[in-house]
Amino acid sequence: MTEQTPASLVSTPTSPSAPGSSVRDLLLARLDNSGLAPEVRELLRELLPDEQVRDSGGRAGPVHLRSVTAAGWRGIGPRTTLELPPGPGLVVVAGPNGSGKSSFAEAAETALTARNSRWEGQRTTDWKQGWRNLHSPDVTPEVSVELSVGERGETATVRRTWYGGKVDEARTKVEGADGAELKLDEVVDAGALELARPFLPYSELGSMINGSLSALHDAFFKLLGLELLAELDKRVKDAHSEFDGMVKRRNALTAELLVELNPVDDPRAREAAAALSGRTPDSARVRALLEGRSPADADELARLRERVSLAGPDLAEVTGAVARLREAAATAEQARFGSAEDARRLAGLLEAALDHRRRSDSPDCPVCGSENRLDQAWAEHARAEVERLQTEAVGAEGARRDLAVAVRAVHDLVQPVPALLQREASPLADLWREWALCRGITDAGELADRAERTARILHEACHQVREEAAGRLAEHDGVWQPLAVRLAEWLSAAEAADTAATGRRHAKKARDWLRPILDELRDERLRPYAERSQEIWQKLCEHSSVTLGSVTLAGTPNRGSVKLGVSVDDMDAPAYSVMSQGELHSLALSLFIPRATHEASPFGFLVIDDPVQSMDPEKVEGLARVLDACARDRQVIVFTHDTRLQQAIAHLGIEATVLRVTRQTDSVVGVETLTDPVEQALAEARAVSLDPNLPPEVADHVLPAMCRVAVEAACLETARRRLRDEEGLGLRAIEERVASLDRTKQYVSLALLGDERQSAREAVERLRPGGWALVEAFNSGAHAPLPTVDDRKALVTRTKALATAIRRSLATGGANTTGNAGGAR
């Protein structure tokens, strides 16, 4: 009968105050009832990030392991497959050190994650040379997992194969059940692998609880949706800093300006210094000072500044354009004698005459009738004249186009009268109007002369006006003008600071309210997981003087830590310094399991490597209970070389599949399923008894020994149950009792009577008449010869009957447990 485990150990944690509510909704609800000023609430709403919804990418869950295969990898040479029953249940993969167990665990992790956490940050030269199996140099290294995906258990295989000598020189390939190639993220969520990582290698049992647990902190932040809180806290902090920066900039400018203003002997400078002095600078007074000139002065200054920036025609550009205009005009003048139209008309007439001569085949003139006027000499001369006229026409047309382009280029340089001169009567305005009239001149020669002369005069006039305006501005402003510019800069910063000062107050109030709320929400979201960790710890360390109290998160992602409340006999103590190695391993499991079994995890399996080391028997028994609880809705695969976990599973009547890994020479690894030890011993004895070729002298010695193993196994099972159920002994005390047994009669006495020192003859005879003689034969080694197969079969039959009766003895004797109390299946 399986021992009951609290449902809290296997239930999925949710928020106790608002199940299913997002962190954002919880925060907004608190904000609505905060009593903060509307402006502060609005600031927080503006800064609050949107909730990030995790995209499943269409992947179906849950994911279970069907098998793990390795070849040429670590301790596994030829290809070997570890077949696993998919779906919830406890699987124990047992085997001695060096058998290849951990190689399977590492193969599963490496196939799915493309990395092996056992050696993260420890890639020494020895490791780089030793990741391949040394006995199989010709085997291509490969690891793979066959997955069962989704409710329908569709099959997918993830295979990682090495193509080079380095551990990173590998490729991952994913295939569906039909052999079609898939992408890894179509089957496995890489983000979930990182956050709810279902692998706990032995190395992490010791390392994950060292330091600040920052990786675990960051994983819980993401799993619980707490990243939104950290982002909001950062945004409020940044807003406060930005507002504070604006105020500080205004203050810095104020100090700088006072240093600049104080030595200046100018009434305006003294006025500005007075406005900036005092506890609160008077921005309104500075603004009035900057705007305090008369309108006439302001207009005059505006006109002077416009004149300082007044730019006349660019003499270099005008000179170049005029030169090109004159050149184009000269070319056009040369081509004007005999226009293009005349040339084309004459060429047309000559072509018509040549065409007539060709069609009529007559040298007579069609106009005057003269004979032989259109002879061959005439024709050749006419053709040459046609070509000359056409060339002349093309040249004339090109010259005309170039002239038009040159005229337009000069026109484009002519600028209209600036707005500041349009309503002004002055020599400069008259000169500019004359310059603007150049745009209306089409005659090339006149345009070239007028533009060249006017541009030169206007350029010189503009230069003179700019010099005069700059001098007058210098006289007007002197030292004050740069100070006025600086004051204008200060005024802009001061106006921003006035607004920022209000924002800074709001941001400070927002932050003062937010920090305890963030801690409250963070603790609230974490509380179910913390409580689950405490419950797991209590199961693992039921008799320990060390108590695991609060589990809290401190800090923000990338800068956070997990804080553990640990006490010894109700006295607070540093977590790690007071814990034994077994307790540290238990603590690592207490923190790992709630994370790996998070409700958002698509993985229906856990892989735990060697968790039993350094644990005393009570902790091993607690571990068996915890694993059994997890296995109710998870596929829990535990690798161990320590037989105490199997003993605890049998002791507690926990149902489990036990696989044994063995390793032969040349890294040949085998896997077999362990059955009931009594049935296994009887099956081996039965196989020997049916061998007709077995020599009698061998049968006489071997078969009774095998039968004795079956009876002693039945006695051990019954004795453990009796000592646990009737005497209430723990696993340590039970194992100490059974370890002292060395004769079959002692096994029988402890099983049937609970006392190995008493004789169990009568009890055996009551259970099975003639059974005591069989026990004595096992114990003394004196037995009748077994010459025939029938004699051997009879011995196995009698042994089975006695073993069955011993296993049922508790039920017939009034014990509380009946049948086979669990064990390996």
Is 375 part of any domain?
A: yes
For 163-230, list the strands marked E by DSSP: 170-176, 181-182, 199-200
- Are 704 and 710 in contact, with CB atoms under 8 Å apart? no
Q: Give pLDDT tens digits for 94-109.
A: 888 888 888 999 999 9
pTM of the model: 0.60
In Å, how far from its chain's centre is CA 439?
68
Do both 682 and 663 map to the same domain? no
Per-residue confidence at 11, pLDDT binned at 50, 70, 90? Answer: very low
- Are 656 and 649 in contact, with CB atoms under 8 Å apart? yes
Is 263 part of any domain?
A: no
Report d(CA 628, CA 610) in Å as an integer.
16
Q: What pLDDT score was predicted for residue 529? A: 82
Do both 461 and 322 map to the same domain? yes
Is 7 part of any domain?
A: no
Do both 574 and 461 map to the same domain? no
For residues 321-337, give the mean pLDDT. 79
Do both 428 and 552 map to the same domain? no
Q: What pLDDT score was predicted for residue 258? A: 92
> Which residue type is seen at 434?
E
Is 249 part of any domain?
A: no
Report d(CA 166, CA 234) in Å as an integer.
42
- Are 690 and 789 in contact, with CB atoms under 8 Å apart? yes
Supply the Cα-derived Rg of the chain in whole angstroms: 51
DSSP reduced 3-state for 613: coil
Do both 568 and 464 map to the same domain? no
Look at residues 550, 548, 531, 562 and name the one whose alpha carbon lies nearest to residue 226: 562
For residues 9-33, give the mean pLDDT. 63
> Which residue type is seen at 53?
V
Q: How many CB atoms lie within 10 A of CB 184?
A: 16
Report d(CA 556, CA 568) in Å as an integer.
29
Do both 712 and 660 map to the same domain? no
- Are 365 and 429 in contact, with CB atoms under 8 Å apart? no
For residues 783-808, give the mean pLDDT. 85
Per-residue confidence at 265, pLDDT binned at 50, 70, 90? Answer: confident
Q: What pLDDT score was predicted for residue 18? A: 39
Please classify residue 243 by burial: count the beta carbons closer than 10 Å to its beta carbon, then call 0-12 exposed, 13-18 middle and 19+ buried. Answer: buried
pLDDT at 813 over 60: no
For residues 387-395, give the mean pLDDT. 69
Is 489 part of any domain?
A: no
Is 438 part of any domain?
A: yes
Structure letter (DSSP) for residue 787: -
| Bridge-based pairing state of the strands 605-609 and 635-640 | parallel
Please classify residue 264 by burial: count the beta carbons closer than 10 Å to its beta carbon, then call 0-12 exposed, 13-18 middle and 19+ buried. Answer: middle
Do both 439 and 330 map to the same domain? yes
For residues 12-17, give the mean pLDDT. 37
Report d(CA 606, CA 636) in Å as an integer.
5
Q: Give pLDDT tens digits for 398-439.
A: 778 888 888 898 888 888 888 878 777 888 888 988 988 998
Do both 546 and 661 map to the same domain? yes
Do both 651 and 799 map to the same domain? no
Last residue of a domain, one of 672, 687, 713: 672
Last residue of a domain, one of 475, 501, 528: 475
Q: For residue 515, what are its two tokens?
A: 């920090």
Enumerate long-range contacts of 286-293, CB under 8 Å, 24 or more apart.
286/487, 286/490, 286/491, 286/494, 287/491, 289/487, 290/484, 290/487, 290/488, 290/491
pLDDT at 8 over 60: no
Number of domains in the chain: 3
Is 323 part of any domain?
A: yes
Per-residue confidence at 816, pLDDT binned at 50, 70, 90? Answer: very low
Per-residue confidence at 276, pLDDT binned at 50, 70, 90? Answer: very high
Instruction: Return the percentage of the chain with pLDDT > 90, whole number.
Output: 22
pLDDT at 54 over 70: no
Do both 643 and 700 map to the same domain? no
Q: What CATH number is attached to the domain comprising 216? A: 3.40.50.300
Last residue of a domain, one of 446, 475, 504: 475
Among 210-214, 236-240, 449-453, 609-613, the range scoring the smallest mean pLDDT is 210-214
Per-residue confidence at 157, pLDDT binned at 50, 70, 90? Answer: very high
Do both 706 and 786 map to the same domain? yes
pLDDT at 361 over 80: no
Pairwise pLDDT comparison (93 vs 4), residue with the higher score: 93
Q: What pLDDT score was predicted for residue 10? A: 35
β-bridge partners, 656: 824
Q: What pLDDT score was predicted for residue 749? A: 93
Mean pLDDT of the chain: 80
Q: Give pLDDT tens digits for 567-577.
A: 766 666 565 66
Report d(CA 763, CA 802) in Å as an integer.
12
For residues 749-755, give the mean pLDDT. 92
Q: Which domain holds residue 710?
A: 675-824
Report d(CA 559, CA 554) in Å as an integer.
9
For residues 307-325, give the mean pLDDT. 86
Per-residue confidence at 370, pLDDT binned at 50, 70, 90? Answer: low
Is 720 part of any domain?
A: yes
Do both 91 and 221 map to the same domain? yes
Per-residue confidence at 127, pLDDT binned at 50, 70, 90? Answer: low
